[in-house]
Amino acid sequence: MQVKGTARHFFVYKVLRKLLKPLVKSKMRLEAREETIGRQFLLLSNHNTNWDPLIIASSITDHMYFVASEHIFSWGYSSRIIEYLASPIPIFKGAPAAGTVLEILERIRAGHSIAIFAEGDRSFSGRTERIEPVIGKLARNSNVALVTFRIEGGYFTNPRWSDTYRKGQMKAGIVKVYEPETLKAMTVREVNEAIMNDLYEDAYERQRTDEVEYKGRHLAEHLERLLFLCPKCKMAGNLVSKEDSIKCSCGFKVSLDSSGILHGKDLPFDSVTDWDMWQRDEVRKLSAEKVTGNIFSDGPVSLYTIGPSHERLHHSSGKISMTKEDLRVGESCFQLSSIPDMAIHGSQDLVFSCDRINYELKSETILNAWKYLLLYRTIRGRDI
C-alpha cells in the first residue's frame, strides 16, 4: 500500500526535524547524537513524555511513520493538519490492535520505515511496562532491520500524572540494530526479551546513580492520579496533593523533592515507583479475595462512544464503579468479561471497547483511572 502524499511527508519530516531539533534539545535538556540508519527499519522505543516522537525525529535522520494514539485524530482542524503533514498510523488504546498491525505491515511492504512505542503507553510508575508478545512477532516478521531506541530521564522531566515539566536532563539514542537474518534465527520470545532488555528503563534506579535534579513548581501536584492507596490506613481515594506534598484524610503526609524522592514520617518507601508496586500487590490481594460489591468507585464522570470518524458522542454520565464482574458508569453496565482490553490515554482518560464499540471515559476533576486499569487487568489474569 503506497501512502498518499509520501513525497510531502518526506519533505516535511526533513524540514521540521531541522527546525524543531534545537527547540527539543533546549526544552527537554536533551543529549542525543544524530544518527542515520540508511535502510528500511522498524524502530521500537520506550515512552515517557509527550515530546518522545520529536525526540526520536531529532535523533534519527531517516524518515519514518509513527504509530499514534487515536485521540490525536479527534482534534478537528489540528488533526487534519497532522494527517496531511505526517500521516501517522492510528491505534485505539483499549481495543484489539489487529487493524493497526495490518496497516503497519502494509506500509513496511510498501518500503516505508515505522516507529512504535513498544509499551503502547507512557509509563506511570517510572519503569518500562510490559511489552505485548505481538511486538516481537511483528519485528520478526517485518523482514526489515529492527532498531531499538531508549529515552532516559523522561519520567522525571514530564511525569505522566503531572501537568507540568521539570528542568533536568534527558538522554536518547539507538541501543542496537538487529538485521532481519538475526531476527529470523531467534524465536518470538527471544526477540521480545531482547526488545525488553534494550528498552528497559527504571527512572529511580538511574536516579540513584546519576543524581540529577529536576527542578520545577508544584512537584507533587496531581500525584493522586497515580497513587490511590494510603500506606498508613490502606484506604483508597483519600489522597489529595498540593504543590510539593500529598496527604491522606487519616493524617498521613509526604513531600516530593526535586530528585523525585519522597519524604515523610513512617514512610515505608522513598520512591513513587515502590509506592506503586505496593499498590499493585494490594490490588492483587483484593482481586483474590471473595469481595462482593464495589471495590473502587468515583464520580461523577462522563462516558463517550468513539465513532468511525473519531467523533465523540455522549453516552452516559454518573458515578463510576468497578466490581469483580463489571464496570458501571451511571446507569450503564459493562461486563469485564466482555471488555477485550482497557487503557488510559493522557493522564486520566480511561478507554476500552465492548461489543466492538469504543468508549472513552472523562472526568472534569482529578480522577485516578489507574486503579481501575490495574483491577481490570488483575481480574482478567494479566500482568500488572
Give the three cell numbers for residue 135. 511486538
Supply the pLDDT for residue 285: 93
> In this predicted structure, what is the pLDDT of residue 9?
95
Q: What was the pLDDT predicted at 1? A: 59
pLDDT at 120: 85
Decide if 56 contacts 45 (C-beta within 8 A): yes
Provide the pairing of β-strand 41-45 with 114-117. parallel
Per-residue pLDDT, 188: 94
pLDDT at 97: 74
Q: What is the CA radius of gyration of the chain?
A: 21
- Asked whether the predicted pLDDT for residue 103 surpasses 90, the reply is yes
Apex CA 193: angle with CA 192 and CA 195, to 5°?
65
Backbone angles phi, psi at 20, to 5 degrees: -90, -20
Q: Are 78 and 68 in contact (CB under 8 A)?
A: no
- Bond preceding residue 300 cis, omega within 30 of 0: yes
Write out pLDDT tens, residues 340-352: 999 998 999 999 9
pLDDT tier at 310, thresholds 50, 70, 90? confident
Residue 77 pLDDT more than 90?
no
d(CA 267, CA 225): 19
* Confidence check: pLDDT of 163 > 80: yes
pLDDT, tens digit, 9 for 90 and up, residues 1-13: 568 899 999 999 9
What percent of the chain has a predicted confidence (pLDDT) above 90?
Answer: 83
Stretch 20-39: mean pLDDT? 94
295-314 mean pLDDT = 92
pLDDT (0 to 100) of residue 96: 67
Q: How does the average pLDDT of the chain come out, rounded?
A: 94
**What pLDDT sits at residue 308?**
83
pLDDT digits (tens, 9 = 90+) for 285-299: 998 888 888 999 998
